[in-house]
Every structure is written in structure tokens, then in C-alpha cells.
Amino acid sequence: MLDSKTHKAGIIGWPVGHSISPVMHAYWLKEHSLSGAYDALPVKPGGLPKMLELLAEQQYAGVNVTIPHKQSILPFLDEVDPSAAAVGAVNTLVRKNKKWLGMNTDIYGFSKSLTEAVDVKKIQRVMVLGAGGAAGAVVKSLQELGFTHITISNRTREKAEELASHAGAKVVDWENKDTALERINLLVNTTSRGMKGEGGLDINLNMLPSQAVVADIVYNPLVTPLLQQAQEKGHLTVDGLGMLMHQGAAAFAAWFGITPKVDDKLRAFLQETL
């Protein structure tokens, strides 16, 4: 039976058409027989204050935030939770007591996806490729998991240095990343390379130890050229769909007080929509 309250959430970004979050949250709303909707809400740069007003008026429980607003929305929020503040980016807003609270569920999403797939106690040295918004959340999650040997490599070195300085991580030149793989146990791609419509990462995994795990946070396609290369070399791989599902589940719980299941049925359903 549907309950009487309307459960409203959505995603704000520019563009937002590519996001599979609306399909995922609609699945959970239906699974829990909750009336309401999760809307794709295109918001151009500059349109944030007006949109936040509108969302408050229309009694949204909250929204996800995606490119290009994850950082630029911070000045418009009443509170930001400590992990999101440390990363300097939010991906989820919750409306509570007439206030906007910012969170970053990508941090939890990556941790949960990684720890479900891998025994993290066996990993000492990690290399993160990329230093964009998502890299910040991934590095924070690695820190929260207790990793102390983190190396960051990014096409634009200054951005890697900036991220590394907050995380106590090392930086390797983009040109030298292949040779720096020599003692790495976990390699994580957080760049947008490998996404549908983009070329794959230019990387050679020959130096990566055979027991190393390779993770990619890109989820469309599910098996990126990096993961394909890693699988051909026999590495254990972790795709980006796990992170997507877990960050979404944490947001759903923050809005509606119900933690939805992340299971094989949901994974199969989402894979069909990709």
C-alpha cells in the first residue's frame, strides 16, 4: 500500500540526461511502495540559488548533485558534513528543518564497493589516476579505510599536487605512471577516460604486480578498456557500478529514512539500462 507522504528527490546537473540515478531511485521507491518521484533536473551554471528555492518550495527531501555543481554549490548550503567539507565537494543535499545540508555519499559508495570486493587488509600501496571531483572522494575514502601509501597521478600535475597535499599522498608525473605501478597493490581510475564516447586510458599494466586489484569508477561501459586490459592479465577488477549503487543507497536513506538493498537483482536491472 502506498503511504500518504510524497517522497520527492532528484538530481541537479548540466547535463543530467545521461544519469541512471532516476532509474535506480524509481526502482527503490517502487520496491518500498513509496509514493513520489526522483526527477532529472537540468540546472545551468548560475541557476543554483533559484533551483534551491524551488526545491524548498516544492518540499523535496533532497537531491543528488552532479557535474558541474559539486563544488560551486557549497556557498549556498547551510551546513556541510565534515567528510564532504574535507573533500570540498558534495553529491547529495538533504533538506532538514528548512536548511540545506550537504553530504558526499561518493566517499561511502567507493569504500563499500571496494570492501565488498576485496580484502583491504591485503593492500598497502594504492595509485589513484585522476584528480577531479570524484578523485577527491575516492582519496578520502582510501584515507578513511586507513591507507597511508597513496600515490596520485593526473594529466594536469598541479591538480594532483593540490589533492595530494590534503591527503598526505605522493605525486607521480602522468608520463611516468606506467613504471610507478611496480609495487602497487590497488590501482583506481577516477578519470573520465574509458567512458562511453571517450577513448580509453593510455596506460600499460605490465609493471603492475599480478596480485594487484584494478578498480574503475567509470560504470558505462561496465568493463572499461582499463578493466578489460586488467582482466586479460588476470587481475581482480572492481567496476564502477558498485560505487554508484552504494552512493545512491546512502542518499536514499538520508532522504527517506530507509536503506534500500544493493543486490544482484538491482545490478542486473541497472546493467540492462546501460
Residues that bind ligand NAP in the complex, under the rule CB under 6 A: 67, 106, 109, 130-135, 154-156, 159, 190-193, 195, 217-219, 240, 243-244, 247
Cβ-proximal residue to ligand NAP, closest one: 132
Q: Specify the residue, 153 or 185, whose C-beta has the smaller distance to ligand NAP.
A: 153
CA–CA–CA angle 124, 127, 128 (5° rounding): 130
159 is catalytic: no
Q: Which among 120, 91, 103, 143 is positioned nearest to 215, based on CA atoms?
A: 120
Taking the C-alpha atoms of 226, 227, 229 and 233 in order, what is their torsion angle to the nearest 10 degrees?
140
Estimate to the nearest angstrom the gap between the alpha carbon of 152 and the chain centroid: 17
Shortest reach from residue 271's CB to ligand NAP, in Å: 14
Q: Specify the residue, 62 or 132, whose C-beta has the smaller distance to ligand NAP.
A: 132
Q: Which residues have a Cβ under 8 Å from the Cβ of 30 and sit 6 or more positions away?
A: none
Shortest reach from residue 33's CB to ligand NAP, in Å: 26
- Alpha-carbon gap, residue 152 to 39, rounded angstroms: 35
- Alpha-carbon gap, residue 54 to 57, rounded angstroms: 5
Shortest reach from residue 156's CB to ligand NAP, in Å: 3
Q: Specify the residue, 96 or 178, whose C-beta has the smaller distance to ligand NAP.
A: 178
| Region class of 33: left (phi > 0), else alpha (psi between -120 and 50), else beta | left
Q: Specify the residue, 182 or 202, whose C-beta has the smaller distance to ligand NAP.
A: 202
Catalytic residue of the set 8, 70, 112, 177 = 70
Shortest reach from residue 139's CB to ligand NAP, in Å: 11
Known catalytic residues? 70
